[in-house]
Chain A
């Protein structure tokens, strides 16, 4: 066994629903535990990096071999999968290989990076790594001097293909998640790549994104796939962002109007779905691990900035608004 079988993945999905299923031999952890293992492993690997500084090519190759062999040993002997440790080791292996390779400055190097990341993603059946690998195509288009519209189109086409893949019944959850991740990341990669190009046609970019949003949202509603709803909403947000360039209204007006519109959509959806018992509903989900992560994210996000020093002299000095300190840092 080089990785979990289809039956194993399906058994894990059943267990998550609290149903009896064959116990997996593979070690898997919840996301926040994986992140902790990932960070700790990276700290450990950082000590290795001294070899790469001594001799970039040979040292990096030695490092790559060490971390990849260790990852494979942990996967094969200890059945590590989705623990965070093997992910950190494999990603470090990819970085070391890239450091060892000769740097010719060729634009095709982006595709080499993408291919190596894709290998890591496929080996670990990791949708996030696989999704990042797919983004290398968009980056490649950008460095090959594609126009901003072409970059956006590449991202959108990839997202549409990934969205259409939701129509297929997949045996592995990891494959479904890979396509969901790509459907979410690709539009973002497309618009970011487009921003680096010269003479961006905001109107055209907005039009293609709104069309993509309509298609993906329609697919999301038809298949009731939450990830596609998120991807569709993201495409719509990007379209709105691009369309905002066409208006002469000040930034603050755009932000407030956008916020009010989004709030109105949320209120309308919330009211419409409130009493529904089938289809899309708003029943509170009970993912305790997710809740805990949200709490931590909230704690980190709302950690305050210190208030700016109060000016002693009279008169107001404009510049630099800030809403830290629970929104009251007075840093205007």
Chain B
């Protein structure tokens, strides 16, 4: 094992740090105290995914034997049980498992509502609206429980309602429509973020919205660039977004947005140049990545200096 307990002890003995400050650090280094918080969260997430996948296979394989009503009722009961647990635990000491039980409830509810709509067509021609209903339910749940995980499910349902897909076919398929839907979704997420920041002062969900909106907008612009007629427009939007992301990242000291700017910006720039001057493609790709690496180094160094 690796430990710097000796160094901490010598810092304490030489008076650089107090004994009170050194004690927890030495305990940690000597592994007298070891937190397994992340491991337990991962274990719970894995359990939720196993159950949800199992329910998916159950629905697919046993519809004829069990019958649609029994399946719908069974999943609903599972979801209700998880929601009951979450509500019960809400009034008591919070456990790190609780958030994932709530996630399981949300995923089971989504599966059940989707299944019911698919089987009985309750909404008829407006069948897609069940996704919007789910987005609202999950959104309300996320705020009631302060759950980022359920908020992610809500945004995912909203995106699905708008027809935003996650597959390679999306990029090479009907790129124009998909890109437009992606931009609309990103705009709604941004509007939601602004309302959230204004009215939810404590424990805001802003970072979740920021990352979703940024990725949706960047991907939509790159998807647009797959359309030969609108390639340059897609690249131009991506480059403009990259500039905005870089400014936002520097202002808020968020490295990730600077990284988004560099990576997505370079890809967009390379696509544009390869399209316009294919003879210079290799040279330009090399040069642009060198420029991006150097820019990222400089911005990162600047941000570190400011933080210090």
Interface residues of A (CB under 8 A from B): 10, 13-14, 17, 19-21, 29-30, 32-33, 36-37, 39-41, 43-44, 46-48, 50, 85, 166-173, 175-176, 223-226, 229-230, 233, 250-256, 258-260, 262-263, 265-267, 269-271, 273-274, 277-285, 290, 292, 295-296, 298-300, 302-307, 310, 316, 318-330, 332
Contacts and interface: CB of A to CB of B under 8 A. Distances in A.
A304 B215 CA distance: 13
A172 B1 CA distance: 9
Contacts of B208: 295, 298-299
A10 B3 CA distance: 9
Nearest to B16: A20
A157 to B, nearest CB: 21
Contact of A310 (B4, B52, B121, B164): B121
B36 A282 contact: yes
B97 A46 contact: no
A253 B54 contact: yes
B153 A296 contact: no
Contacts of A230: 39
Contacts of B156: 302-304, 325-326
A116 to B, nearest CB: 24
Contacts of B64: 318
A324 B56 CA distance: 11
Interface in B1-55: 1-4, 7-8, 11, 16-17, 25, 27, 31-40, 43-44, 46-55
B152 A318 contact: no
B160 A170 contact: no
Contact of A299 (B49, B60, B215, B281): B215
Given A173-B2, A263-B47, A328-B110, A310 B127 contact: yes
A128 B53 CA distance: 30
B263 A36 contact: yes
B256 interface: yes
Contacts, number: 318
9 contacts: A13-B2, A13-B4, A20-B11, A44-B286, A252-B62, A258-B50, A259-B50, A271-B95, A327-B107
B290 A44 contact: yes
Contacts of B278: none
Given A43-B289, A259-B48, A302-B152, A266 B138 contact: no
Given A39-B263, A43-B288, A321-B59, 13 more contacts: A17-B25, A167-B1, A176-B1, A256-B55, A262-B50, A299-B215, A302-B153, A304-B157, A310-B117, A310-B127, A321-B57, A327-B153, A332-B115
Contacts of B1: 166-170, 176, 223, 225
B207 A255 contact: no
Q: Which of A36, A284, A328 has the most chain B CB within a 10 Å cutoff? A: A328
Nearest to B117: A330
A50 B286 CA distance: 12
Contacts of B31: 223-225
A321 B63 CA distance: 11
A251 B55 CA distance: 10
